[in-house]
């Protein structure tokens, strides 16, 4: 059965959320033929086919295998040949099918006809849409008044986006990277290496983690979870030990062998405290430091002088005896590794890489290496929040904000600031398949194909040091009035004329094909294959052999697309040490001593809260914000199953919850399941209380869930948004709140 949607089908919509512009319930059923499929699958011989594609729910780029019945996608599983996922997917990947059938998908281009946010739109043709965008860009480009915000990604398609907006003199910004790229500046400052750091979790024997959500959503989540499984249970060596330093009793903290509750801004002090013990007791790998040509005298002196065990204990709440044990445990094991969350503050990232250097963890199994390549052109490191704050301050009637698969209103900043930024824009244009919260404030909607309908080519963040390119053709044919993003940019460039008309390829396929040719010409690597064949290829490459999987560039490209990607398993190891030696050794950043003076934060006691005398107890609790692993900050919150899996208490699905230590809760008359009001000087929200044994006393941890008024039908069901509590000018980690039962 062929699924076709014609104009008349769309006129029959009963459930469109933005009248006539979105798929709606009826359209969703037409697209899925869900009822018909359900009725016929059991009884008739539907034609079953499979297609490879790439998950786009995060930058990890896991390969997926799409099961199609009569051309309609009915199931998404992991691609068993993908070296990242090896047939597995996380919950977000499994739920990506829901995005394809999202009733809030846009069916074609439209322009705003009412006031912003009124949801009054007129469908327009693609010619008019492109002409409108081109004329606004022509006016804004000379003044540099364009901001282009995109989901974090790397690869030839991202390069086209960068190229187009650079030619238009736009400022480029990306949503919060989930990848090790964020740790890159600290890694580069210490080692001089230009690639991202790669952590060999699988072969480590002892991991000290500073807030890294290892079993939740760290770096390349499926890869990490597979590695964690082997770290814990390997036939050839003892079970790996995990110590988690975290301000909240996260899922990783629960799975760890030991959890140390330490306030986020104090974790770098603890890391330097451990370094200080290693140096005082002369337990560091001095021969490696000498081999690398490193002079660490100044750094050692600063750490040993200021980060005395007593001072560190005072500042972090971690007893001296524990501090000494943490340091000694690290060196009692052959392959210790220290890791941090991808969005760790710079001081913590500096401390974590310094610890790895002292432990001799660079370029050894179970340590830190450097990713061999990064295909993205050098990027302006401006974050989405900075770009939008700038727009709020300097935006004008000619300013243009372009959004690619990114919602400005979901950025990790106070929503009021974001709305002000959007108000200052002359034109907001959204390149997204979905009607999300920012789309409904936009002026021009240019809906793009969904991932299942698109060409892909992206560089997965290198978790294992191997080079990879995840790529695929469309798994299903586009059936709505959407367009390929690259084609939209190409036509816009042509309409603008001048320099910008030249460089952009005509389509995503035209951008992907040269990349496949480039790989063919490298004469190494292989299309995604089984792990046995990948290992075989590694052995061959070590011996100086390469057996091509095809005889021509065309055949090779076809094989890579059918497999879902290309991998060169060999190149990675041993690049970091030479980079450090070339640079003349490690450049340690001496830590500032000033942060030690503040003492233990009043509102962050240790879990031994019984020891806190009532007179010392503050009526204010420290606010800890965390992002549940199933929340997607880049895409659209259009997957209801993810809202069911947030991890909240069983009795409160679809609600934001707040975690409290039982004794802290008792002090405020709060029981499990009570609805509580949480107030800061900026605002207040309601949440359901969840009592967590051993949670730090005097803190309240609140989930960040994108409960946005215009965020699609599912997001609207979530009522509280923790960002309403964030105070302008106050560090997020330092916000104090009051809690009262409602």
Residue ranges that bind ligand SF4, judged by CB under 6 A: 55, 57-58, 60-62, 85, 89-90, 92-93, 221-222
Looking at the Cβ atoms of 455 and 604, the one nearer to ligand SF4 is 455
**Minimum distance, C-beta of residue 537 to ligand SF4, in the bound complex (Å):** 23
Return the axis-axis angle of helices 346-358 and 267-280, rounded to nearest 10°.
Answer: 20
Look-up: residue for tokens 């033929």?
33
597 DSSP assignment: G
CB closer to ligand SF4, 55 vs 676:
55
* Residue whose C-alpha is closest to residue 245's, from 326, 183, 182, 185: 326
Closest-by-Cβ residue to ligand SF4 is 93
Cβ distance to ligand SF4 smaller for residue 642 or 720: 642
The residue (of 240 and 460) whose beta carbon lies closer to ligand SF4 is 460
Minimum CB–partner distance for residue 217 and ligand SF4 (Å): 8
Shortest spacing between CB 61 and ligand SF4, in angstroms: 6
CB of 94 to ligand SF4, least distance (A): 8
Distance CA 303, CA 280 (A): 10
The DSSP code for 412 is S
Cβ distance 384 to 408 under 8 Å?
Answer: yes
Least Cβ distance, residue 58 to ligand SF4 (angstroms): 3
DSSP output for 510-555:
HHHHHHHHHHHHHT--EES--HHHHHHHHHHHHTT----S-SSHHH
Residue (351 or 470) nearer to ligand SF4, CB: 470
CB contact at 8 A, 718 and 643: yes
Closest to ligand SF4 by CB, 198 vs 700, is 198
Q: Please report where in the chains the tokens 């899925």 appear, as a residue.
A: 32
**Considering beta carbons, is residue 93 or 707 the nearer one to ligand SF4?**
93
Radius of gyration of the chain (CA): 26
57: number of Cβ within 10 Å: 25
CB of 57 to ligand SF4, least distance (A): 4
User: 3-class DSSP state for residue 665?
Assistant: helix
User: Please, what is the minimum distance in Å from the beta carbon of residue 472 to ligand SF4?
Assistant: 13
Rank residues 180 and 323 by Cβ distance to ligand SF4 and give the closer one.
180
Q: Which is nearer to ligand SF4, 350 or 453 (CB)?
A: 453
46 DSSP 8-state letter: P
Indicate the DSSP class of residue 567: E
What is the sign, positive or negative, of the torsion defined by CA atoms of 430, 433, 435, 436? negative
State which residue, 89 or 656, has the beta carbon closest to ligand SF4.
89
Least distance between ligand SF4 and beta carbon 93 (Å): 3
Task: For the CB of residue 83, give the shortest distance to ligand SF4 in the complex, in Å.
Answer: 12
Question: Which residues are CB-neighbours of 297 under 8 A, at least 6 positions away?
Answer: none
What is the smallest separation between the CB atom of 341 and ligand SF4, expressed in angstroms? 16
Nearer to ligand SF4, 175 or 268 (CB): 175
Q: Report in angstroms how near the CB of residue 469 gets to ligand SF4 at its nearest.
A: 14
**Distance (Å) of CA 442 to CA 31, 183, 346:** 26, 33, 34
State how far the Cα of 433 lies from the Cα of 441, in Å rounded to an integer: 15
Closer to ligand SF4 by Cβ: residue 62 or 201: 62
Q: How far is the CB of 177 from ligand SF4 (least distance, A)?
A: 13
Nearest CB to ligand SF4, comparing residues 62 and 368: 62
Per the DSSP assignment, residues forming a β-bridge with 458 are 470
Which helix (H) or strand (E) segment holds residue 557: the answer is helix 553-563
Q: Of the two residues 110 and 222, which places its CB atom closer to ligand SF4 in the complex?
A: 222
Compute the least distance from the CB of residue 483 to ligand SF4, in Å: 24
- Nearest alpha carbon to residue 738 among 609, 659, 621: 621
Which among 252, 628, 223, 636 has a CA at the least distance from the CA of 461? 223
CA neighbor of 527 nearest in space, from 567, 558, 569, 471: 567
At CA 457, angle to CA 454 and CA 460, rounded to 5? 125
Q: Which residues contact 290 (CB under 8 A, 6 or more apart)?
A: none
Give the number of other Cβ atoms within 10 Å of residue 288's Cβ: 20
**CA-CA distance, 530 to 189, in Å (whole number)?**
38
Contact yes or no for 399/424 (Cβ under 8 A): yes
Tell me whether residue 90 or residue 689 sits nearer to ligand SF4 (CB atom): 90
Tokens 């599912």: give the residue: 714
- Report in angstroms how near the CB of residue 90 gets to ligand SF4 at its nearest: 3
Q: How far is the CB of 220 from ligand SF4 (least distance, A)?
A: 6
DSSP single-letter state for residue 577: H
Distances (CA, A) of 446 to 11, 117, 358, 430, 484: 20, 17, 52, 6, 10
Min. distance of Cβ 156 from ligand SF4 in angstroms? 18
CA dihedral 643, 647, 652, 658 (to 10 degrees): -110
Smaller CB distance to ligand SF4: residue 427 or 715? 715
The phi, psi pair for 603, rounded to 5°, reads: -95, 20
CA distance 740 to 742: 6
Number of H helices, E strands in the chain: 26, 26
């Amino acid at each position: 059965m062929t699924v076709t949607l014609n104009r008349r089908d769309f006129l029959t919509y009963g459930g469109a959320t933005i009248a006539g512009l979105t798929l709606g319930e009826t359209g969703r059923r037409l697209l899925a033929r869900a009822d018909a499929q359900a009725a016929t699958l059991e009884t008739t011989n539907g034609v079953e086919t499979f297609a490879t594609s790439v998950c786009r729910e995060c930058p990890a780029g896991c390969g997926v295998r799409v099961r199609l019945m009569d051309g309609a996608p009915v199931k998404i599983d992991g691609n068993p040949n993908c070296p990242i996922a090896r047939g597995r997917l996380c919950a977000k990947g499994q739920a990506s099918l829901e995005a394809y059938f999202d009733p809030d998908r846009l069916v074609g281009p439209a322009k705003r006809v009412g006031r912003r946010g009124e949801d009054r739109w007129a469908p327009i043709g693609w010619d008019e849409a492109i002409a409108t965008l081109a004329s606004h860009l022509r006016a804004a480009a000379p003044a540099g008044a364009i901001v282009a915000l995109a989901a974090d990604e790397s690869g030839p398609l991202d390069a086209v986006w960068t190229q187009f907006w650079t030619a238009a003199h736009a400022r480029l910004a990306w949503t919060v990277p989930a990848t090790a790229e964020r740790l890159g500046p600290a890694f580069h400052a210490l080692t001089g290496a230009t690639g991202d750091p790669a952590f060999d979790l699988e072969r480590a024997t002892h991991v000290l983690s500073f807030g890294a959500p290892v079993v939740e959503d760290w770096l390349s989540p499926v890869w990490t979870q597979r590695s964690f499984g082997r770290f814990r249970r390997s036939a050839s060596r003892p079970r790996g030990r995990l110590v988690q330093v975290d301000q909240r009793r996260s899922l990783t903290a629960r799975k760890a062998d030991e959890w140390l509750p330490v306030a986020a801004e104090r974790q770098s002090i603890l890391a330097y405290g451990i370094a200080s013990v290693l140096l005082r007791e002369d337990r560091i790998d001095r021969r490696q430091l000498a081999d690398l040509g490193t002079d660490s005298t100044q750094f050692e002196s600063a750490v040993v002088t200021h980060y005395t065990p007593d001072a560190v204990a005072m500042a972090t709440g971690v007893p001296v005896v524990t501090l000494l044990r943490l340091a000694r445990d690290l060196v009692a094991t052959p392959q210790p590794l220290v890791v941090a969350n991808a969005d760790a503050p710079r001081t913590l990232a500096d401390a974590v890489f310094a610890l790895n250097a002292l432990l001799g963890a660079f370029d050894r199994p179970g340590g830190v290496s450097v990713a061999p390549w990064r295909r993205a052109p050098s990027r302006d490191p401006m974050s989405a929040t900075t770009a939008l704050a700038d727009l709020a301050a300097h935006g004008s009637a000619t300013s243009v904000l372009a959004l690619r698969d990114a919602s400005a209103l979901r950025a990790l900043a106070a929503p009021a600031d974001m709305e002000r930024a959007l108000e200052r824009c002359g034109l907001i244009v959204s390149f997204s398949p979905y009607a999300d919260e920012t789309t409904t404030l936009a002026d021009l909607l240019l809906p793009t194909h969904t991932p299942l309908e698109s060409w892909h080519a992206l560089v997965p963040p290198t978790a294992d040091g191997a080079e990879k390119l995840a790529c695929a053709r469309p798994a299903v044919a586009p059936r709505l009035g959407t367009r390929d993003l690259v084609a939209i940019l190409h036509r816009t460039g042509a309409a603008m004329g001048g320099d910008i008309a030249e460089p952009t390829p005509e389509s995503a396929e035209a951008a992907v094909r040269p990349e496949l040719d480039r790989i063919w010409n490298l004469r190494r690597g292989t299309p995604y294959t089984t792990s046995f064949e990948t290992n075989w290829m590694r052995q061959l490459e070590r011996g100086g052999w390469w057996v091509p999987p095809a005889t021509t560039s065309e055949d090779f490209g076809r094989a890579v697309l059918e497999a879902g990607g290309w991998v060169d398993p060999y190149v990675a190891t041993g690049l970091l040490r030479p980079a450090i030696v070339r640079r003349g050794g490690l450049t340690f950043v001496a830590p500032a001593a000033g942060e030690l003076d503040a003492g233990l934060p009043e509102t962050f006691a240790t879990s031994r809260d019984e020891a806190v005398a009532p007179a010392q107890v503050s009526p204010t609790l420290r606010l800890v914000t965390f992002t549940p692993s199933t929340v997607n900050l880049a895409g659209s919150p259009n997957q209801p199953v993810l809202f069911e899996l947030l991890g909240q208490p069983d009795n409160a699905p679809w609600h934001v919850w707040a975690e409290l230590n039982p004794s802290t809760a008792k002090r405020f008359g709060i029981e499990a399941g009570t609805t509580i009001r949480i107030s800061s000087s900026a605002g207040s929200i309601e949440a359901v209380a969840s009592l967590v044994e051993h949670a730090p006393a005097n803190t309240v941890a609140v989930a960040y869930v994108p409960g946005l008024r215009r965020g699609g039908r599912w997001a609207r069901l979530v009522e509280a948004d923790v960002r309403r509590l964030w105070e302008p000018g106050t560090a997020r980690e330092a916000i104090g709140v009051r809690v009262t039962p409602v």
